[in-house]
Amino acid sequence: MKRLLYLLFLLPAATAAAQTPAQLRAYLPEVEGWTIADKVESFTPENLYDRINGAADAFLACNFAEMTQLSYNRVHSDTYITIQCYRHDTPPDAYCIYAGERFPDAEFLTIGAEGYREPQVLNFLSGNVYVKMETHDKSAEAGEAIEKIARTLAKKIDAASTLPALLQRLPEANKVEHSELYVSQSFLAHKFLHSAYMAQYREDGNEYRQFIIDAGTPDAAKQMIKEYLAFAKQEAEPKEKELITINDRYNGRVDMTWDGPYITGRTYE
Amino acid sequence: MKNLNRRNFLRLTAAGSAGLFIPSKLPAMTNRTGQPEEEKINIEHRTLGRTGIKVPILSMGVMRADNPNLVKAAIQSGIVHFDTAHSYQEGKNELMLGKIFKDVPRESLVVATKIKVDQRKGIFSKDAPEQFLEKFNISMQRLGLDYVDILYFHAIDSREATLHEPILKVMQDLKAQGRTKNIGVSTHSNEPEVINAAVDSGVYDVVLTAYNFKQKHLPELNAAIDRAAAAGLGVVAMKTMAGAKDINIPAALKWVFRNKNIHTTIPGFTAFDELDVCLACATDPQLTGDEKNYLAQADVAPSLYCQQCNSCTTQCTKHLPIPDLMRAYMYNYGYRYPAEARTLVASLHLSSNPCTSCTSCKVKCTNGFAVAEKVRDIARIAAVPREFLT
């Protein structure tokens, strides 16, 4: 129900941001020395497996809606650039898979909400679309082309794209840069914990993770903690803004508290 | 899309994997054959063909799991076979497993990874073998292993690709070097063609195939699986939940367990309670009445499920009990319950081919069944000695 209401709330924006394969094709810029391939392929949740095999599971878990595959061919060459645009239901869903595939030590770029590049690869997030670009052409020209395409595409998809606002509620001190993740379901492999944003932290040689869950309402937050206590077979009445320590037989010690609709907490290595 | 030299060795030290809550070393809980040493639940084990590897019928497809504690819980529950791929989570999946496996005796694990070499317009590039080898080396670094138990040629959908000689040579070389114990092919499109090609190759040891009760081409797929098993190949099933969110997990999984030529399954559970459900299914794989009904009512398997509308009974000039025969057909080819099918057919007291006196069939099945063909296929089961059937 919560998800339905959320989607209804987002519907006007989501509809406006929905990119059809034809639109995405039209967004592609002209790049000297490269031609845009005529072939435009699209994949739905039913056949994404046909294109990316078992990796599709992770996309489907993040409410994948449609993938459009486009490409550029280099003139007088057999090299090419492939562009895969994964559209998800909402921007947080797109962030879910983008952040899940991102490595913190990549070379990050200000493209769309966020982007990064590696040799022959450039991936970025814009609105509810996660774009993955790749080429096997190792030349500088290919690197310049791929970045030009990315910057144009990111603005066309959603010029005002930003990272999910809830990430700002995670503490900045000691946070490992670009380690944030969004787990869209079964956080800590518990279904009752639904979804969470989390990040890695390092402090005095110790590592831990901070997380935040938006339960929707204070009552839902309290109920979630009560379910966790019941799972851990701990008898306690959770009180708002008080620290609760869960002794999770799978995940070890989990410290958490709730404030309004938000549950914040920490897990340890 | 080409996958180039992306996740280099430096990645091995990156804190990129989701959910690194690995608190302690894992106990050595299984031996090489996957046999339980202590605290193990009672799960049927099957031998993965000529590989000789004995595994529980329940293994773990790790593709979606981003919490290492879930993998650890699976290990502690007696699961020994873990299936990943070079491409899953851009390599984070293999990295996560590597961090877990370093605390587990290598001989207690059966590890599989998969390498895909992209094609353009159905053709592998000239450097496909180099790509394959480069990806394999990166995968081994991520996993932190000297060898894998199964190396799959990933996501193959044609006979031609299955038999692509340059890749076969790379895999055979890796096997000769001991860097993989066995080689296999994975497929979830045109599976019968790929499986039959794998058998014909004489090279592959294992096939990993999509297999679930919703597939439209089950007769052909079952025939290919049976042939592979008979040829000594190990057969592993994936996509057992048919990719549906609202699936009846116990029914779907137990349906797969019924096929003895499927040696293990790799469901991709992502939560502890899903693991518990899968373990319960593996411990007691008998379908309940509700689960049988669920499978029977699954409208996505129309080629097997008779609606029992009885409109055929008045059309058949021999007044055969066609709905009963169609139900028996479903028991045998759908549920893999040949004993139950035989019992039902025997109770009808028919000859081994009751259609033999008709030159053509007058029955027009509302579900589009080729009735005479199905009657011919199932009626003869009554002649099979009961002790040969399960």
8 Å CB contact of B69 and A181: no
8 Å CB contact of A54 and B5: no
Nearest to A256 by CA among A190, A205, A206: A190
> Does some domain include residue A8?
no
Nearest chain B residue to A105 by CA: give it: B14
Cα separation of A257 and A225, whole Å?
8
Q: What per-residue confidence (pLDDT) applies to A53?
A: 77
| DSSP secondary structure of A180-243 | -EEE-SSGGG-GGG--EEEEEEEETTEEEEEEEEE-SSHHHHHHHHHHHHHHTT------TTS-
Nearest chain B residue to A193 by CA: give it: B271
Q: Residue B378 belongs to what H/E stretch?
A: helix B371-379
The percent of residues above 90 in pLDDT, for chain B, comes to 53
> Does some domain include residue A173?
yes
Nearest chain A residue to B272 by CA: give it: A189
Which residues are A183's β-sheet partners? Answer: A196
8 Å CB contact of B189 and A250: no
Q: What per-residue confidence (pLDDT) applies to B254?
A: 96
What is the domain extent for residue B82? 9-290
A204 Cβ contact list (under 8 Å, min separation 6)? none
My answer on whether A87 and A151 are in the same domain is: yes
My answer on whether A81 and A206 are in the same domain is: no
Nearest to A153 by CA among A31, A3, A7: A31
Task: Say which CATH number the domain at B251 has.
Answer: 3.20.20.100
Cα separation of B114 and B130, whole Å?
15
* A13 or B162, higher pLDDT: B162
Q: Which of residues 75-114 of A touch B (CB under 8 A)?
A: 82, 84, 100-105
Cα separation of B64 and B29, whole Å?
24
My answer on whether B80 and B172 are in the same domain is: yes
What is the distance in angstroms between the CA of the first residue and the CA of the last residue of chain A? Answer: 34
Nearest chain B residue to A132 by CA: give it: B1
My answer on whether A137 and A36 are in the same domain is: yes
8 Å CB contact of B272 and A176: no
Query: Is residue B15 over pLDDT 60?
Result: no
Strand pairing of B148-153 and B180-187?
Answer: parallel
pLDDT band at residue A47 under the 50/70/90 scheme: confident
My answer on whether A43 and A145 are in the same domain is: yes
My answer on whether B270 and B364 are in the same domain is: no
Residue A5 Cα, gap to closest chain B Cα (Å) = 20
- Burial profile A28-67: b = 16 or more Cβ within 10 angstroms, e = fewer: beebeebebbeeeebbebeebbebbbbbbbbbebbbbbbb
Task: Say which CATH number the domain at A142 has.
Answer: 3.40.1000
How far lies A10's CA from each of A5, A166, A215, in Å?
Answer: 8, 16, 17
Residue B14 Cα, gap to closest chain A Cα (Å) = 7
Note the pLDDT tens digit of each residue in A65-80: 999 999 999 999 889 9
Nearest chain B residue to A196 by CA: give it: B19
Name the burial class of residue A252, with classes exposed (0-12), middle (13-18) and buried (19+) by CB atoms within 10 angstroms of its CB: middle
My answer on whether B90 and B190 are in the same domain is: yes
Task: Scan for tokens 């809980």, then name that residue.
Answer: B29
What is the domain extent for residue A231? 166-268
pLDDT band at residue B334 under the 50/70/90 scheme: low
The secondary structure of B187-226, three-state, reads ECCCHHHHHHHHHHHCCCCEEEEECCCCCCCHHHHHHHHH
Residue A222 Cα, gap to closest chain B Cα (Å) = 21
Retrieve residue B256's tokens.
């797969």
My answer on whether B218 and B364 are in the same domain is: no
Task: Scan for tokens 């090299």, then name that residue.
Answer: A79
Retrieve residue A37's tokens.
């391939």
My answer on whether A31 and A147 are in the same domain is: yes
8 Å CB contact of A188 and B19: yes
Nearest to A95 by CA among A119, A70, A69, A59: A59
Q: What per-residue confidence (pLDDT) applies to B390?
A: 60
My answer on whether A186 and A82 are in the same domain is: no
My answer on whether B160 and B53 are in the same domain is: yes
Q: What per-residue confidence (pLDDT) applies to B115?
A: 96
Note the pLDDT tens digit of each residue in B243-279: 666 789 999 999 999 999 999 999 989 899 999 999 9
Residue A123 Cα, gap to closest chain B Cα (Å) = 12
Chain B contact probe: residue of A146, A193, A251 with most B CBs at under 10 A: A251
**Which of A84, A135, A189 shows the shortest C-beta gap to B272?**
A189
Chain A contact probe: residue of B2, B7, B75, B119 with most A CBs at under 10 A: B2
My answer on whether B217 and B286 are in the same domain is: yes
My answer on whether B278 and B363 are in the same domain is: no
8 Å CB contact of A120 and B66: no
Backbone angles phi, psi at B86, to 5 degrees: -55, -35
8 Å CB contact of A105 and B69: no
> Does some domain include residue A152?
yes
Cite the DSSP H helix spans in B117-185: 128-143, 159-162, 165-176
> Does some domain include residue A241?
yes
Query: Is residue B301 over pLDDT 80?
Result: no
Q: Which of A114, A139, A158 is the last residue of a domain?
A: A158
CB of A57 less than 8 A from some CB of B? yes
Strand pairing of B54-56 and B60-61?
Answer: unpaired
pLDDT band at residue B32 under the 50/70/90 scheme: very low
CA B274 to chain centre: 18
**Which of A57, A134, A207 shows the shortest C-beta gap to B1?**
A134
Strand pairing of B110-115 and B148-153?
Answer: parallel
B325 Cβ contact list (under 8 Å, min separation 6)? B345, B348, B350, B374, B375, B378, B379
My answer on whether A190 and A257 are in the same domain is: yes
My answer on whether B329 and B254 are in the same domain is: no
8 Å CB contact of B270 and A267: no
Q: Which of A139, A158, A177 is the last residue of a domain?
A: A158
Strand ranges (DSSP E) for B41-147?
A: 45-47, 54-56, 60-61, 81-83, 110-115, 119-120, 123-124
> Does some domain include residue A132?
yes
Residues of chain B positioned with their CB less than 8 A from the CB of A190 = 271-273
- Report how many domains make up chain B: 2
Cα separation of B183 and B192, whole Å?
18
Mean predicted lDDT score pLDDT of chain B: 84
- Report how many domains make up chain A: 2
Mean predicted lDDT score pLDDT of chain A: 90
Using the Cα atoms of residue B363, residue B369, residue B374 and residue B375 in order, give the sign of their dihedral.
Answer: negative
Q: Which of A95, A123, A158 is the last residue of a domain?
A: A158
pLDDT band at residue B31 under the 50/70/90 scheme: very low
pLDDT band at residue B300 under the 50/70/90 scheme: very low
Residue A61 in 3-state DSSP?
helix
CA B351 to chain centre: 36
8 Å CB contact of B15 and A104: yes
Using the Cα atoms of residue A137, residue A140, residue A142 and residue A143 in order, give the sign of their dihedral.
Answer: positive
A216 touches A223 (CB < 8 A): no
Note the pLDDT tens digit of each residue in B96-109: 999 999 999 999 99
My answer on whether A144 and A185 are in the same domain is: no
Strand pairing of B60-61 and A262-268?
Answer: unpaired
Q: What per-residue confidence (pLDDT) applies to B194?
A: 97
B187 touches B197 (CB < 8 A): no
8 Å CB contact of A179 and B85: no
Entry pTM: 0.75
> Does some domain include residue B312?
no
8 Å CB contact of A250 and B73: yes
Q: Which of residues 165-184 of A touch B (CB under 8 A)?
A: 176, 179, 181, 183
My answer on whether B136 and B81 are in the same domain is: yes
My answer on whether B126 and B198 are in the same domain is: yes
